[in-house]
Amino acid sequence: MECVLCGERCKDECETFDSELVASDGWGIYIPQRTADYLEECWEGIKKEDLEIIQQGPNHDNYWDAWDDILNSAYLDEKEHPTLTDSKIKRRWHLYQDGDLWMISLKIK
């Protein structure tokens, strides 16, 4: 099975993953623009410049480059105790788009 995160063949310990739908492909070319506020509020690893570009919409010259950067760098850490700043990370989510936009997290056995 090819890993949806790294594109390489997974080892047995990470062959399954959880996924949650973020945006339907019905939004088409507006998925980046329509999810920008959610990504800015909840996700890490995203450059402010890329967010500003996708907020302007698909007519911006760098819209798709900025979106590609976000897809490759964004992550969301799910912590064991979300209210504690030094809490251990339970799971790390990443974005994956193949039509629909998904957040995915590998399950480590």
Q: What's the pLDDT tens digit per position in 51-87?
A: 999 999 999 999 999 999 999 999 988 766 555 556 6
**Cβ-count burial of 23 within 10 angstroms (0-12 exposed, 13-18 middle, 19+ buried)?**
middle
Q: What's the pLDDT tens digit per position in 18-54?
A: 889 999 999 999 999 999 999 998 899 999 999 999 9
Q: What is the DSSP letter of 6?
A: T
Asked if pLDDT for residue 1 goes beyond 70, the answer is no
**Cβ-count burial of 80 within 10 angstroms (0-12 exposed, 13-18 middle, 19+ buried)?**
exposed
The pTM of the whole model exceeds 0.75:
yes
Crossing angle of helices 63-73 and 48-56, rounded to 10°: 130
The full length of the chain comes to 109
Asked if pLDDT for residue 89 goes beyond 70, the answer is no
